[in-house]
Structure 1
């Protein structure tokens, strides 16, 4: 039986639509997942319908962890009218900032102050469990992360690689992050989060240090896509020398004529060819190597 590749897709800041977590909804299937399958089929010269036997895509929807308490705070402050001003820009800013602040945690944080951080990470763990079931316990793992989702993914893998996780983690190689081979970030705020650490910190290891134990011939990569007009997404590789050895930044012009020259490009990476095509090509090359 051919070895499948597991792909975990995590959304970023703001009030994400619950349909992101529903793979059969138009929002998910007509966006990144559908386009990725289409591009992969083109590279492999196959029908799109056959891609499901090669690739398993699961969304990581974490917004619900913070949504309830954000709504409660909004009600207590009585600011619903304010959030609707300026074409609902206030709503986006409120949810974006509160997502980031709520997610923060330090090594000395009490258990009672980790509920958001750990709750979001449990969503991540639960998704990897689904992937281990549907793609295989040792399926190579590809993570695709947008915006704050890239920071969440980085922190999650860091915790795994440094034995710092304080949530329920499955015991399969995939769930333990041992098969992580590909990491794609776009619209990333990892640069901001690096400010919390001396000399801007240390990146996760990509591919996983234990990948070679499962797939000696696989090579991994971390590519960070960013648009210069995206005010919420930044390059990563020059954070410090450690990041430079792990990450490759790739500048793109995300979106169509109405988006690629302004900050709305932040939400346009999902279906942009400059992002999707290189990911699809690497996935195709990886699958061929796994299934000669």
Structure 2
């Protein structure tokens, strides 16, 4: 639906995910990056997160969900996608923050960097378009 609202364009994607949401988005991205599993959610670059340019996780509990795995294979980092322009790839990154679980909404050490990443991707996307 978001892609449709963007006019069907495979725009650079920035995901902001808190707590269990970070696990869900990590699982979704891993499935999308490994279509051989048969769990991929679609074909287009946006839905398959091939245009992932930023990931902001906070209060993430991803490590807890890896304890039962025999081997941990992380998702590919945002800047690795060949579907991103060079300008976007230069600013693309995964930022992870941890402070008290409910303090993020007023913590400038979280809000400032998260906003700067979103702004940098948006500006780079306009430049690289």
The whole-number CA distance in structure 1 between the counterparts of 2:49 and 2:79 is: 7
The whole-number CA distance in structure 2 between the counterparts of 1:207 and 1:144 is: 13
- Out of 61, 83, 94, the position equivalent to 1:213 is 83
Question: Over residues 20-60 of structure 1, what are the superposed CA-to-partner deviations in whole Å (9 max), with x where a residue is unaligned?
Answer: xxxxxxxxxxxxxxxxxxxxxxxxxxxxxxxxxxxxxxxxx
Query: Offset of 1:271 from its aligned partner?
Result: 4.0
TM-score (norm 1): 0.39
Matches within 5 A, 1:240-255: none
Quick one: higher RCO (CA 8 Å, sep 6+), 1 or 2?
Answer: 2
TM-score (norm 2): 0.82
Distance 1:135 1:161, change over 3 A: same
Distance 1:285 1:275, change over 3 A: same
Structure 2 partner of 1:187? 59
**Structural RMSD (CA):** 2.0
Contact 1:151 1:188 in 2 (8 A): yes
Distance 1:276 1:178, change over 3 A: same
Contact 1:178 1:208 in 2 (8 A): no
The whole-number CA distance in structure 1 between the counterparts of 2:79 and 2:93 is: 10
Q: Number of matched residues? A: 123
Question: Over residues 231-276 of structure 1, what are the superposed CA-to-partner deviations in whole Å (9 max), with x where a residue is unaligned?
Answer: xxxxxxxxxxxxxxxxxxxxxxxxxxxxxxxxxx312223432212
The whole-number CA distance in structure 2 between the counterparts of 1:133 and 1:270 is: 29
SS of the residue aligned with 2:101? helix
Structure 2 partner of 1:133? 4
Query: Is 1:197 the equivalent of 2:50?
Result: no
Structure 1 partner of 2:25? 153
The whole-number CA distance in structure 2 between the counterparts of 1:207 and 1:275 is: 19
Q: Where do 5+ consecutive residues of structure 1 fail to align?
A: 1-129, 228-264
The whole-number CA distance in structure 2 between the counterparts of 1:191 and 1:275 is: 20
More helix by share: 1
Query: Offset of 1:131 from its aligned partner?
Result: 1.5
Contact 2:12 2:125 in 1 (8 A): no
Structure 1 partner of 2:112? 277
The whole-number CA distance in structure 2 between the counterparts of 1:215 and 1:147 is: 30
Query: Offset of 1:161 from its aligned partner?
Result: 0.5
